[in-house]
């Protein structure tokens, strides 16, 4: 993916997470794990401390939707 992902790139983050963690139960996950996986994405370039529960919930919902 070109460029650096930011916390607001919810859909793109969800796509990356699905590609890297297809085995994960993305419905029942801990936000601490989700946060770590996002920060570990090679294309992620935002400040790790800028996330919050609302953002993580949006990423989780997009990931669930992406898996369809």
For the segment(s) 10-67, the CATH number from 1.10.10.600, 1.20.1250.10, 1.10.1040.10, 3.40.50.2000 is: 1.10.10.600
Using the predicted structure, report yes or no on whether residue 1 has a pLDDT greater than 80.
no
- SS3 of 68, please? coil
CA distance 28 to 60: 10
Could you report the per-residue pLDDT of 38-51, keeping only the tens digit for each?
999 999 999 999 99
Q: Is the pLDDT of residue 2 over 70?
A: no
pLDDT of residue 3: 64
Q: How confident is the model at residue 12 (pLDDT cuts 50, 70, 90)?
A: very high
pTM score of the predicted model: 0.93
Report domain extents, the chain.
10-67
- Note the pLDDT tens digit of each residue in 19-37: 999 999 999 999 999 999 9
- What DSSP string describes 2-51? -S-B-TT-HHHHHHHHHHH-TTS-SSS--HHHHHHHHHHSTTB-S-GGG-
């Amino acid at each position: 993916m070109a460029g650096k992902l930011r916390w607001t790139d919810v859909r793109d983050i969800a796509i990356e997470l699905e590609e890297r963690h297809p085995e994960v139960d993305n419905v029942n996950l801990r936000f601490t794990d989700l946060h770590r996986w996002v920060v570990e994405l090679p294309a992620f370039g935002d400040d790790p401390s800028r996330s919050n529960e609302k953002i993580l919930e949006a990423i989780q919902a997009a990931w669930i939707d992406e898996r369809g």
